[in-house]
Amino acid sequence: MNKTVKTALYAIFSMTLISGCGAADEKKDADAGQEVQQENTLSEETQSYKQFAMDQLDQFVIETEKFVEAVKAGDVEKAKELYAPARMYFERSEPIAESFGDLDPRIDARLADIEGEGQGKEEWSGYHKIEYGLWEEGTTKGYEETADQLLSDVKELRAKVETVDVTPDLMITGAVDLLNEVSTSKITGEEEIYSHTDLYDFKANVEGAEKIFDIFKVKLQEKDPELVKTLEGNFSKLNSLLDEYKAGDGFVSYETLTAEDTKALSEAVDHLGEPLSQMAIVVE
């Protein structure tokens, strides 16, 4: 092959390589631009959800302060009364709370979670540790330090939520995860194993998921009115079932539910989970 031909072939190869790299770079830029456009389009929704989470965690701090005060005062009955309602604020905003991997378990870990990581009671902290003292031991004595640490962690969580970058994906995944949590731990009664206040958590998780749906509803209506109708109906059915177990401002003990009751609730959650995941069409 003579020098002239070699030079020509090299030039063609170089142009092809540059063209290919340019196309790849253009695709990356286009994908990144599409993601930014999606987030900008839904900026009102993401900001609305962040404000919701901050409002919930504001109340979580206030109610935790009351709970800790009762624990440190040795008022077992008052602490029991405040326990489940306070935790609902955390459970509603858990998709954002879980963004902080260290704080979430310090506030909300069960003993089984700790032991599953090869740790013992000495590493246990948060609401569920105090739950054990209140319902299993009938005392707050010895839990004062745990209560102080709990309040400190809750305040830190509220401060850090300001830094969270809320995206449509976080919201959609969070809504589905809230229902998954209901179907895996709340429905079995293993979340509140000592107090049996699982229905409070159950209701709060559903409310958290429904809030995300409500925020996206206008955009969803534009893309799939039938999906909106399905979700509205499924949320209504699940909330109606939960209302059957209300007692005053709260809920009955989870121990009072029959196998048929939990089966009906489980089926209602399952029927809601799949269509809820279809909310992802808002970012398409």
Shared-domain flag, residues 160 and 171: no
The verdict on residue 22 lying in a domain is: no
The verdict on residue 132 lying in a domain is: yes
Binned at pLDDT 50, 70 and 90, residue 6 comes out as very low
Range of the domain at 273: 167-284
Shared-domain flag, residues 193 and 217: yes
DSSP letter string, the chain: --HHHHHHHHHHHHHHHHHHHHHHHHHHHHHHHHHHHHHHHTHHHHHHHHHHHHHHHHHHHHHHHHHHHHHHTT-HHHHHHHHHHHHHHHHHTHHHHTTSTTHHHHHH--HHHHHHTT--GGG--SHHHHHHIIIII---TT-HHHHHHHHHHHHHHHHHGGG----HHHHHHHHHHHHHHIIIIITTT-TTTTT--HHHHHHHHHHHHHHHHHHHHHHHHHH-HHHHHHHHHHHHHHHHHHHTTEETTEE--GGG--HHHHHHHHHHHHHHHHHHHGGGGGG-
The verdict on residue 57 lying in a domain is: yes
The verdict on residue 36 lying in a domain is: no
Shared-domain flag, residues 152 and 173: no
Q: 11-25, 42-56, 60-74, 160-174: which has the minimum mean pLDDT?
A: 11-25
Binned at pLDDT 50, 70 and 90, residue 102 comes out as confident
Shared-domain flag, residues 262 and 191: yes
Shared-domain flag, residues 262 and 226: yes
Q: Which of 124, 139, 164 is the last residue of a domain?
A: 164
Selected residue with higher pLDDT from 207 and 33: 207
The verdict on residue 257 lying in a domain is: yes
The pLDDT of residue 185: 79
What's the whole-model pTM score?
A: 0.84
CATH code of residue 55? 1.20.1420.20
DSSP letter string, 132-150: HIIIII---TT-HHHHHHH
The pLDDT of residue 101: 78
The verdict on residue 284 lying in a domain is: yes
Q: Which of 164, 181, 216 is the last residue of a domain?
A: 164
Shared-domain flag, residues 159 and 185: no
Reading the block at residue 51, the tokens are: 């404000």
The pLDDT of residue 113: 87
The verdict on residue 184 lying in a domain is: yes
Shared-domain flag, residues 172 and 282: yes
Shared-domain flag, residues 81 and 192: no
The verdict on residue 27 lying in a domain is: no
Q: How many CA atoms lie within 13 A of 159 on its CB side?
A: 7
For CA atoms 125, 127, 130, 131, the dihedral sign is negative
Amino acid identity at 68:
V
Question: Per residue in 160-203, pLDDT tens?
Answer: 999 999 999 999 999 999 998 888 878 889 899 999 999 999 99
Shared-domain flag, residues 159 and 209: no
The pLDDT of residue 22: 52
Shared-domain flag, residues 153 and 261: no
Shared-domain flag, residues 147 and 202: no
The pLDDT of residue 5: 41
Question: Per residue in 208-255, pLDDT tens?
Answer: 999 999 999 999 999 999 999 999 999 999 999 999 999 999 999 999
User: Taking a C-beta distance cutoff of 8 angstroms, is the pair 269, 187 a contact?
Assistant: yes
Residue 12 has pLDDT above 50, yes or no: no
Shared-domain flag, residues 126 and 60: yes
User: Taking a C-beta distance cutoff of 8 angstroms, is the pair 175, 95 a contact?
Assistant: yes
Q: Which of 137, 164, 191 is the last residue of a domain?
A: 164
